[in-house]
Amino acid sequence: ERGLCNCAAETGSCSCKENVLGLHCSECQAGTYALRADDPLGCTPCFCFGLSQVCSELEGYVRTPVTLGSGQPLLRVVSQSNLRGTTEGVYYQAPDVLLDAVTVRQHVHAEPFYWR
């Protein structure tokens, strides 16, 4: 896919971005996830608070970039039993919105939980 590899016009040979592999540059290297053309490395390194370097995205889920309006600094996290949800444990770290699952569980009291 365009943006995941660099191809030489003269030879047609391609080289993948640093964290990407495969003939068509369509897979993340071990220890990375979230294949994206706009990522300078192609895939994001795993971060599990030093506990592991093994990670993967869940199959069947879709990663969708969300742009928050200026009046909406954070997304709420809700569950089926708590539609009001919480922003406790939700942090903005530009350009990402991050979730501390331990803190969210204390306020939502159910799993799975969802962004709202």
Q: 52 with 74, same domain?
A: no
Domain count, the chain: 2
Q: 83 with 52, same domain?
A: no
Q: 55 with 16, same domain?
A: yes
Domain finish residue from 18, 34, 60: 60
Q: 7 with 45, same domain?
A: yes
Percent of the chain with pLDDT over 70: 79
Q: Is the pTM of this model over 0.75?
A: no
Q: Are strands 20-21 and 5-7 parallel, antiparallel or unpaired?
A: unpaired
113 bridge partner residues: 79
Contact in structure between 116 and 88 (CB atoms under 8 Å): no
Domain finish residue from 15, 40, 60: 60
Q: 1 with 54, same domain?
A: yes
pLDDT attached to residue 3: 63
**Helix ranges, 60-100 (H):** none
pLDDT grade, residue 88 (50/70/90)? very high
21-59 pLDDT tens trace: 987 788 899 988 888 888 899 988 887 656 677 777 766
Q: How many CB atoms lie within 10 A of CB 87?
A: 14
- The parent domain of residue 84 ranges over 66-116
